């Protein structure tokens, strides 16, 4: 399928840290003439594998510009650099140091794989999934933290005394205060010892 712009939309499944992961993979064409179309496919991607071939210098040279395109479209998603076809190392056109220097410059984890011989392929996807799940958990924790912080501001319930006629609201520390008072019937006989409590 070397003449099409999207090579596959296949699913890769495995288990990691007791969680089932299913990845939908989109293998985009490297050719620049397909840029506008391939962009539509990686828009919304949650992880990225930048692959170059051991026997194709152009694919290696193109990595930095791919990194920039992806960053511009989807931001800093979990990404790895992969040198594929290491079963053909005898015919390599890229020195080890060059590949490692590129990974260092782009601050990416670097894998050498052979899809043909099934070498290191699962490791790449496990690493990416792990990274993605970590970020997701961190994001969830941050969202919860924001909810708690903001609930302090809007959820100040004041049971302190005052008139029973209707609910009034004041402001404490910039947050809204809603006065909660029991109705007259419930307070007629005994004065509650908690009548001057403030719940924050």
Ligand X SMILES: Nc1nc2c(ncn2[C@@H]2O[C@H](COP(=O)(O)OP(=O)(O)OP(=O)(O)O)[C@@H](O)[C@H]2O)c(=O)[nH]1
Residue 178 forms beta bridges with which residues? 157, 169
Size of the site for ligand X (CB under 6 A): 12
CA-CA distance, 109 to 124, in Å (whole number)? 9
- Asked if 179 touches ligand X (CB under 6 A), the answer is no
- Tell me the pairing of strands 19-28 and 156-158: unpaired
Sole binder of ligand X in the list 115, 126, 130, 133 (CB under 6 A): 115
The Cα–Cα gap between 40 and 62 comes to 19
The yes or no reply on residue 158 touching ligand X (CB under 6 A) is no
Q: What is the spatial distance between Cα 118 and Cα 10, in angstroms, rounded to a whole number?
A: 16
Among 97-105, 110-118, 150-158, 167-175, the segment contacting ligand X (CB under 6 A): 110-118
- Cα(1)–Cα(7) distance, integer angstroms: 6
Out of 114, 120, 159, 179, the residue judged to bind ligand X by CB under 6 A: 114
Contact residue for ligand X among 5, 21, 23, 30 (CB under 6 A): 30
174's tokens: 């910039």
Query: For residues 82 and 69, what is the distance between their CA atoms, to the nearest angstrom?
Result: 17
When asked if residue 27 is in the footprint of ligand X (CB under 6 A), the reply is yes
Q: How many residues does the chain have?
A: 200
Return the residue of 34, 74, 87, 159 that touches ligand X, per CB under 6 A. 87
Least CB distance to ligand X at residue 121 (A): 9
- Residue 52: CB minimum distance to ligand X, A: 9
List interacting residues with ligand X (CB under 6 A). Answer: 2, 7, 27, 29-30, 84-85, 87-88, 114-116
């Amino acid at each position: 399928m070397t003449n099409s712009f999207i090579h596959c939309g296949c699913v890769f499944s495995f288990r990691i840290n007791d969680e089932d992961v299913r990845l939908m993979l989109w293998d985009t064409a490297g050719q620049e003439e397909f840029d506008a179309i391939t962009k539509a496919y990686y828009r919304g991607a949650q992880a990225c594998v930048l692959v170059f071939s051991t026997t194709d210098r152009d694919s290696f040279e193109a990595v930095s510009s791919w990194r920039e395109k992806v960053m511009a479209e989807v931001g800093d998603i979990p990404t790895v650099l992969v040198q594929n076809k290491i079963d053909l190392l005898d015919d390599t056109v890229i020195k080890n140091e060059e590949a490692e220097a590129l990974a260092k410059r782009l601050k990416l984890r670097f894998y050498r794989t052979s899809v043909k011989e099934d070498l290191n392929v699962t490791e790449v996807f496990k690493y990416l999934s792990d990274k993605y799940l970590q970020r997701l958990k961190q994001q969830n924790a941050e969202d919860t933290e924001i909810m708690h912080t903001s609930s302090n501001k809007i959820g100040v319930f004041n049971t302190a005394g005052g008139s029973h006629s209707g609910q009034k609201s004041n402001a404490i520390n910039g947050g809204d205060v809603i006065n909660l008072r029991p109705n007259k019937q419930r307070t007629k006989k005994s004065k509650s010892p908690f009548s001057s409590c403030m719940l924050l």
